Structure 1
Amino acid sequence: MAATIVSVINQKGGTGKTTTTINLGSALQKLGKRVLLIDLDPQANLSYSLGITEPEHTLADVFTGQQNLVDILQDCNGLKVAPGTNDLVDVEISLVGQASREEFLQSMLQEIKGFDYVLIDCPPSLSLLTVNALTASQEVIIPLQMEVLTLQGLGQILNTVKQIKDTLNPKLRVKGIVVVMYDKRRKLSLEIEEYLQENVEEHIFDQRIRLNVKLAEAPSFGKSVIEYDPASNGAKDYLALAKEFLATK
């Protein structure tokens, strides 16, 4: 059975996108799923957060035809990772003039076998690399902070997903919105949560990812929070999210 490919997207930086990709992937792996993480962000924060600091080959080499995707994969505590690199900026520029420029990642992923889920950590922009990810994916996960400006950004993301669905990938759908960095003590959090429930048609996962210092500490040790501190609220929240993720059709 082919893997389910999921893009984790948000066009703002610092929104928990990479944290969600890593820890949802790690939680799914703990639940017995075979998971591949794709670091499509030129900042390569996912790779760094899992202790991959100087990979010999990266996704940029795959995009330029110098390597096959399967040959660059690295093992990180049971997860497989396709490392990112700042060279993806140059790759994106070179893609602009290519035919079928939106389908490069889709073609690359066709050679991948033996995974249940592929999670793609997208750049913090609605760029050509992000379009490649959405074209290759069946599902989208949107991490969302409880901040006013994120509501404006959410509309842009949903509009982009709709455009890709209408023009390039009719199978694409929003799996759900994940509320991250959640603090129920803040009045603003509760107000935005209420607004989402009343105004957003897309599925919102019941599990909230609470503010948790262990989530911030884990990348310093090259681990997911589930490996770093399985008793922490961060680990508990992402494990609960993974179970809900698997149960959500």
Structure 2
Amino acid sequence: MKTNVVAVINQKGGTGKTTTTINLGSALSKLGKKVLLLDLDPQSNLSYSLAVTTPAATLADVFQGEKSINDVLVERDGLWVVPGSNELVDIEISLVTQPEREKFLKSILAEVKGFDFILIDCPPSLSVLTLNALTAAQEVLIPLQMEVLTLQGLDQIMNTIKKVQKTFNPQLKVKGVVVVMFDVRRKLSLEVLEYLQENVREKIFRSQIRMNVKLAEAPSFGRSVLDYDGSSNGAKDYRALAEEYLES
């Protein structure tokens, strides 16, 4: 079985990155795919959002060589999770002085077998940990809000991806941009989307993730929106995105 490793990145916080990792993963799982979610963010929002709050071990233990990645997997609603922790801050500091520091995660993931997808929730920065994710991944998924500063941020992300392609991972591909927190009533949202469609070469998924209160509520219950309220617009949007992802 070939595992598709996907880095979900945006260098800004609060952009729907964790929400997209969880709910795209959940939607892919419900389409029959075996999915692993990896929480690479020291803030551990993904782990918290799936009620993995006191794991016996975390990804930091794997980086330190104290555990195998297979020892730290936690199952939630048909998804498998590698929990994060704030100790990843210390891991990042220690990686800076290591030779081939960008390749640690790739070697860790080589031990994982039997998954169709590994979705990596990256930190909200273009950091050493994010470089590890980009070096380990085959594909990049970029959630974007339709705001003016989004355009500047996308340029930064694309420049980083080009550097990684040139230096560490020539096979890395941009799967596409996901429009998140979309409000069709806002003129600015429509204008930014139109600009992206006319000026960005990368694929922009047709399936847009609308503003939806159920998406905001689901993490409080430790579940994906598909398990929390499968009839909500949030669940419908992520199901559509998963289907489009598999077709593209």
Compute the TM-score of the two structures, normalised by the length of structure 1.
Answer: 0.99
Q: Give 2:212's aligned residue.
A: 212
* 1:134 correspondence with 2:134: yes
Measured after TM superposition, the shift of residue 64 of structure 1 is: 0.3
AA of the residue aligned to 1:190: L
The residue correspondences of 1:54-69 to structure 2 (distance < 5 A) are 54-69=54-69
1:44-72 residue CA offsets vs partner (Å, 9 max, x unmatched):
00000000111110000000000000010
Between the aligned residues of both structures, percent identity stands at: 70
Q: For 1:53, what is the secondary structure of its paired residue?
A: coil
CA–CA distance in 2 between the matches of 1:215 and 1:5?
24
Number of aligned pairs?
248
* 1:15 correspondence with 2:9: no
Q: Give 2:154's aligned residue.
A: 154
AA of the residue aligned to 2:69: L
Q: Which ranges of structure 2 fall in alignment gaps of 5 or more residues?
A: none
Name the Cα RMSD after superposition. Answer: 0.4
Measured after TM superposition, the shift of residue 2 of structure 1 is: 2.2
* 1:53 correspondence with 2:47: no
Q: Give 2:90's aligned residue.
A: 90
CA–CA distance in 1 between the matches of 2:158 and 2:202?
9
Q: For 1:179, what is the secondary structure of its paired residue?
A: strand
Q: Give 1:110's aligned residue.
A: 110
CA–CA distance in 1 between the matches of 2:66 and 2:235?
37
Q: Give 1:165's aligned residue.
A: 165
Q: For 1:175, what is the secondary structure of its paired residue?
A: strand
Compute the TM-score of the two structures, normalised by the length of structure 2.
Answer: 1.00
Q: Give 2:245's aligned residue.
A: 245
* 1:197 correspondence with 2:219: no
CA–CA distance in 1 between the matches of 2:183 and 2:233?
12
CA–CA distance in 2 between the matches of 1:105 and 1:147?
32
AA of the residue aligned to 1:86: N
CA–CA distance in 2 between the matches of 1:181 and 1:97?
38
Q: For 1:184, what is the secondary structure of its paired residue?
A: coil
Q: For 2:133, what is the secondary structure of its paired residue?
A: helix
User: Which runs of at least 4 in structure 1 moved beyond 2 Å after TM superposition?
Assistant: none
Q: Which ranges of structure 1 fall in alignment gaps of 5 or more residues?
A: none
Measured after TM superposition, the shift of residue 150 of structure 1 is: 1.0
1:123-177 residue CA offsets vs partner (Å, 9 max, x unmatched):
0000000000000000000000000011100000011011100110000010000
Q: Give 2:30's aligned residue.
A: 30
